[in-house]
Amino acid sequence: MENIQGKVIIITGTSSGMGRSTAKLLAEHGAKVVLAARREDRLVLLKEEIENSGGTAIYKVTDVTSHKQLQELAEFTLNTFGTIDVLINNAGYMPVSPLHAQKVNEWDQMIDINIKGVLYGISAVLPYMRKNKKGQIINVASALAHVVVENAAVYAGTKFAVKAITEGLRQEEFENNIRTTLISPGAVQTEITNGITHEETKNSVKEMVSQVWLQPESIAKAIAYSINEPEEVSTNEIIVRPTIQKAF
């Protein structure tokens, strides 16, 4: 993992799950990680954990639905480390439910976090990466960026959008040596299912995840792999599912 050593990497959604595991793994391999999430108490604990293990980490409380806060996150990173090598748009929200349940507020939140949050992150770092003719933007989507299943129409729609945005970014910025990567996890054991308010859907998802699931560390390894590849290699898409996961 020699190509991770010394890189400055911003990671959103680091208070738990895949973001937390990714921050720890990248720091273990010598990256300078910038932790971003809304829950400051968890950011403080993670920063301390990384530093106690010999790694380098800073944090900034950040709500990805705020363009201004993501701009400030990029500026904070540049002011501290002088560069931005990688952005990992990991923050996500998954309150899946059938359309007839009319969870309109949750639809709005998914659009704000899953789509706008990714766009705002890209907007915050892209001018710097274009100026320096290098960088990598990693967007965490879902296996549901590739197929739609019942009760997940809106969530899948947001992740299809992330897939399209990532491919558009690749086509627009390849000449600037900006690498783009889409990471699409299948069933992963994280806190994301806690946001499901439709009880029937929540129970079915929890049942599936309890039987067919990955640990967040498996996604962290996929992300680390894409970063560690030589600069002339752009790993554009990775889907990571449990071996025994059939659905989506």
225 assigned to active site: no
Complete DSSP assignment for 163-200: HHHHHHHHHHHGGGTEEEEEEEE-SB-SGGGGG---HH
Q: Which residues contact 53 (CB under 8 A, 6 or more apart)?
A: 24, 27, 28
Backbone angles phi, psi at 126, to 5 degrees: -60, -45
Query: What CA–CA distance (Å, rounded) separates 59 from 40?
Result: 9
Tokens of 37: 């999430």
* Through-space distance between the first and last CA atoms of the chain, rounded to whole angstroms: 31
Q: Exactly one of 93, 120, 155, 225 is catalytic; which is it?
A: 155
**Beta strands at 32-37 and 8-12: parallel, antiparallel or unpaired:** parallel
- How many CB atoms within 10 Å of residue 168? 11
Look at residues 40, 44, 31, 33 and name the one whose alpha carbon lies nearest to residue 1: 31
Residue 92 near residue 76, CB atoms below 8 Å: no
- Which are the catalytic amino acids? 155
